[in-house]
Amino acid sequence: MTTTIPVGGEGFAAYEVVVGRGLLKEAGARVAALKPTRAFIVSDETVAAIHGETVRGALEGAGLTTGVVTVPAGEASKSFEQLEAVLDRLLAEGLDRKSLVVALGGGVVGDLAGLAAALFMRGVDFVQVPTTLLAQVDSSVGGKTAIDTPRGKNLIGAFHQPRLVLADIEALATLPVRQVRSGWAEVLKHGLICDAAFFDWLGGEGKAGAEGDPDALERAVIRSVEIKSQIVGEDEKEAGRRALLNLGHTFGHALEAELGFGDALTHGEAVALGCAMAFRFSARQGLCAATDADKAEAGIRAASLPTRLADVDQVFSADALIGRMAGDKKAEGGRLTLILARAIGEVFTDKNVDAEAVRAFLIEEGAAA
């Protein structure tokens, strides 16, 4: 059985996110229905070794001419260097404007392949085949594509919506538990943003999902995609409400950048820590009850995710973090923008956050003055 969630809105064509089991094997007919001249797979070395042949076989079985280009696994591949390598390979393979890119992998592959698809011949179609929980619940939906630079996270990118998303729950069976929990962080984020009952379910009946239980994972993927689809449908290019999906990311991206996008924190772990910080900062500013900040932290911690700077083996400088936050894409005119909380399930954008208050908060949290 599959669940289909439509994504679309004013100014961008609707597409479907299909959630189910066995979708990698069925990818051929669904991709062929888009009528590309070719369907070229972009993946990472780890995912290609596990799932590459299944998807390639499915595409060829549906009569499509295909091929595969891989990048090394990990965040470091969201780089100019790998973007150039992928684009060069697509050119060398002789792809044309009606060719289609299949992004097979986690958020790194999706963001990189999506940006390559946006740039290749000024834009070709692409299909997301997310193989991490994080990519199924978040990065494959909504059309944000990007690479990092040492100056910051996702600073170079484009909005380029996929034509189709195939989220195969069975693909998650091979995912290491650390990566399952990383994806769970973005799931928890969706509850914290706008669905308190979902947040409660994630910490109660649904909590086996954080350890990889497929039934709980499937429900978590479906509810997350529904939430993201609804927000993106209202505001494709983040003119307003979509910024709420950035809860925890202003802190989280600053931490990731300070850590050089290395292995110390995955994106999901950084978001988990960032969400806990956003709730504590909100409570400190009198915007939400301290009990809500405590509950948010407990829910995140229950999934074995970090909630405190002390959980990371590095001393952060408060000023360096603020510098990173000021360079965030949401910041305008040098003022800090944060997604803050009134309660669990009720967040808002503050475009004029007092930098001195953030500095004092970061020092309280353990950052160096």
Ligand X SMILES: O=C(O)C(=O)C[C@@H](O)[C@H](O)[C@H](O)COP(=O)(O)O
Has 351 been annotated as catalytic? no
Asked if 103 and 141 count as a contact pair (C-beta separation under 8 A), the reply is: no
Nearest distance, CB of residue 221 and ligand NAD, angstroms: 13
Does 224 bind ligand X (CB under 6 A)? Our answer is no
Adjacent-strand bridge partners of 76: none
**Strand, helix or coil for residue 300:** helix
Name the catalytic one among 75, 218, 236, 238: 238
- 186 an active-site residue? yes
Residue in 56, 89, 253, 280 annotated catalytic: 253
What's the CA dihedral at 18, 114, 103, 227 to 10 degrees? -30
> Is residue 160 annotated as a catalytic residue, yes or no?
no
Q: 23, 41, 59, 134: which one contacts ligand NAD (CB under 6 A)?
A: 134
**Residue 104 contacts residue 129 (beta carbons within 8 Å):** yes
Chain residue whose CB lies nearest ligand X: 154
Measured over all CA atoms, what is the biggest interatomic distance in the chain, rounded to whole angstroms?
61
- For residue 350, give Cα distances in angstroms to 40, 81, 330, 363: 42, 35, 10, 21
- One of 20, 107, 191, 203 touching ligand NAD (CB under 6 A): 107
Q: Report the alpha-carbon distance of residue 300 to residue 206 in Å, rounded.
A: 13
With 0-12 / 13-18 / 19 or more C-beta atoms within 10 angstroms meaning exposed / middle / buried, residue 321 is: buried
Select from ligand NAD, ligand X, none the partner in contact with residue 162, using the beta carbon and a kind-dependent cut-off of 5 to 8 Å: none
Dihedral over Cα of 153, 183, 6, 229: its sign: negative
Active site residue 228: yes
CB of 238 to ligand X, least distance (A): 6
Known binding site for NAD(+): residues? 107-111, 131-132, 144, 153
Q: Would you please indicate which residues are annotated as catalytic (active-site) residues?
A: 122, 144, 186, 228, 238, 242, 246, 249, 253, 267
List of residues contacting ligand NAD (CB under 6 A): 44, 46-47, 50, 73-75, 78, 105-109, 111, 131-132, 134-135, 138-139, 142, 144, 154, 171, 174-175, 179, 182, 266-268
Applying CB under 6 A, the residues found at the interface with ligand X are 138, 142, 144, 146, 154, 186, 238, 242, 245-246, 249, 329
